[in-house]
Amino acid sequence: MLVRMHKDARERPSSRELDALAGESVFCSEFKYRPGTEIFGEAEPVEYIYQVIDGAVRSYKLLSDGRRQINAFHLPGDIFGVENGNVHRFTAEAIIETTTRLARRQRIFGGRAPATNNVLKLITRNLQHAESHMLLLGRKTSLEKVAAFLVEMDRRLTAAGVMILPMNRRDIADYLGLTLETVSRALSLLKDQWTLTFLGQTQRQIELLDRRKLAELDS
């Protein structure tokens, strides 16, 4: 037996919390997974909410070439797989022999006061952004990071074909987990490759010339 309990005196994770979460729908059952087994996959529809009874689970995102970023480990007592949308945003796998209790996700979202729903959506959007940003910070190269930044800003900021950045190189660097020099070098490289150009005298106005190349750098 490799798995142990929480330090904080919780004898055994009760299903109470899970019941509370699932609301009215207290259809609960247990399920056991062998080491390395997938519990649910990225982009799969959300059917259940899970609570670890015994064992350990990793949830992660992948880049196309196999680089992996584990978002979190789920240990006994933890609830995971709670999503706002209809599909999972990452993959969950049992690390060792793991027992989970699961409850049907009977539309946790919707059917509530609109204000609450909006708060949920908003926080979920933040969480979603954080999750993909962890993948960026942990597993992407400097060039990929800068490309991802440009793609994001292009989506959010571009008007009339021009992107005018409000932030300086240091801000970008601190967003991407780099130094400002590295950001500057990456931008110069992309400029030399005709992937973008600077407009005006300051280097804050950027026109993207090759969005396809940026998108594939972004992976």
Partner DNA sequence: CGACTCCTTGACAGCGTTCAACAGTAGTGG
Partner DNA sequence: CCACTACTGTTGAACGCTGTCAAGGAGTCG
Binding residues (CB under 8 A) for a second copy: these are 2-7, 17, 20-23, 55-56, 58, 60, 68-73, 75, 79, 82, 84, 95-96, 108-109, 112-116, 118-120, 122-124, 126-127, 129-131, 133-134, 137-139, 155-159, 164, 166-167, 171, 174-177
Determine the interface stretch with DNA among 76-84, 115-123, 151-159, 201-209 (rule: CB under 7 A): 201-209
Residues 137 to 166: which contact DNA by CB under 7 A? 141-143
Beta bridge partners of 205: 164, 199
Cα three-residue angle 29-4-34, rounded to 5 degrees? 50
Minimum CB separation of residue 216 from a second copy in Å reads 21
Return the one option of DNA, a second copy, none that residue 29 interacts with (CB less than 5 to 8 A, by type).
Answer: none
Contact criterion met (CB below 8 Å) for 107 and 153: no
Q: Which is nearer to a second copy, 139 or 213 (CB)?
A: 139
**134 secondary structure, DSSP code:** H
Q: Is 77 in the site for DNA (CB under 7 A)?
A: no
Cα gap 170→19, rounded to integer Å: 47
Cα gap 66→198, rounded to integer Å: 34
What token pair was written down for 48?
Answer: 């259940």
Contact criterion met (CB below 8 Å) for 218 and 139: no
Q: Is 182 in the site for DNA (CB under 7 A)?
A: yes
Binding residue (CB under 7 A) for DNA from 15, 63, 198, 213: 198
Minimum CB separation of residue 177 from a second copy in Å reads 3
Least Cα distance to 102 among 74, 121, 127 occurs for 74
- Radius of gyration (Cα) for the chain, nearest Å? 22
Minimum CB separation of residue 192 from a second copy in Å reads 26
